[in-house]
């Protein structure tokens, strides 16, 4: 029996909620437990990282499925506009893709075209995949989801890209811009707190927001960082990553154990 009920993108649903800042985190560990733990913590979405983590396609496929089953919206960061990889990730059920280091309007158009069905793009039809509910989803709905629901997020990560962020965000099919402050700062030989970097980011955000487009941040999981994110008018934010969150909790546990034991055990 064919399923004709509309498919939905969890990331878009989180954005549509009133008085709600969608929270995500990066997934770098090749472990389904990471997905389960961040889902239980209450995150809205995850970005499975194929740029900075040693994940293979089979692992990505498993993590996407785990996210969907846990109520998380799965996005995947892809470091190349490889049309074959884009096809496989989207048909694995990803709600969207994140493309790092976008430096021009042409690059933005190229990644959009690779992930959209004709006539807007060149993505092939594979509705017997997870994205098509293994053939149970009506093909028209599978195509509609790919055209209207799947999210394209481009990362602005250099000083030059920051100066043309508005033009990149204006490309038809780009749904959001994610600011990469760390790469931008390192590229300029500075750090994220430098006034020049802050000004570049502010200019980029202003240009994107003037179009009514979405702009997101990637930041530390701290009260100060989240307050700054809200004050800057970001539409969504990425808080840390699974490995860093685990490491921080482990260090805190050891610190407590050492401090307490030192205070009660004989010298």
Catalytic sites, residue numbers: 52
Report which DSSP code applies to 124: P
Beta-carbon neighbour count of residue 135 at 10 Å?
14
Question: Angle at Cα 201 formed by Cα 204 and Cα 116, nearest 5°?
Answer: 50
Strand, coil or helix: 68: helix
What is the C-alpha to C-alpha distance for residues 254 and 26, in angstroms, rounded to an integer?
Answer: 24
**How many residues are there in the chain?**
267
- CB 26, CB 49: distance < 8 Å: yes
């Amino acid at each position: 029996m064919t399923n004709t009920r509309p498919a939905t993108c969890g990331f878009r649903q989180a954005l549509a909620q009133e008085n709600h800042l969608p929270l995500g985190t990066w997934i770098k560990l090749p472990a389904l437990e990471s997905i389960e733990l961040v889902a239980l913590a209450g995150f809205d979405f995850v970005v499975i990282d194929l740029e900075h983590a040693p994940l293979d396609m089979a692992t990505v496929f498993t993590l996407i499925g785990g996210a969907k089953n846990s109520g998380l919206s799965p996005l995947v960061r892809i470091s190349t506009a490889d049309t074959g990889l884009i096809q496989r990730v989207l048909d694995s059920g990803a709600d969207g893709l994140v493309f790092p280091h976008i430096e021009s309007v042409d690059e933005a158009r190229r990644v959009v075209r690779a992930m959209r069905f004709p006539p807007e793009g060149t993505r092939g039809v594979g509705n017997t995949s997870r994205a098509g509910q293994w053939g149970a989803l009506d093909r028209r709905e599978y195509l509609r989801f790919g055209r209207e629901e799947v999210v394209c997020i481009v990362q602005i990560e250099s000083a030059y890209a920051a100066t043309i962020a508005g033009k990149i965000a204006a490309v038809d099919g780009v749904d959001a811009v994610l600011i990469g402050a760390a790469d931008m700062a390192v590229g300029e030989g500075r750090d994220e707190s430098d006034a020049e970097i802050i000004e570049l980011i502010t200019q980029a955000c202003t240009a994107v927001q003037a179009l009514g487009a979405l702009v997101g941040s990637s930041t530390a999981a701290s009260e100060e960082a989240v307050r700054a994110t809200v004050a800057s008018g970001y539409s969504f934010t990425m808080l840390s990553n699974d490995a860093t969150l685990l490491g921080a909790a482990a260090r805190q546990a050891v610190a407590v154990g050492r401090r307490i034991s030192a205070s009660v055990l004989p010298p």
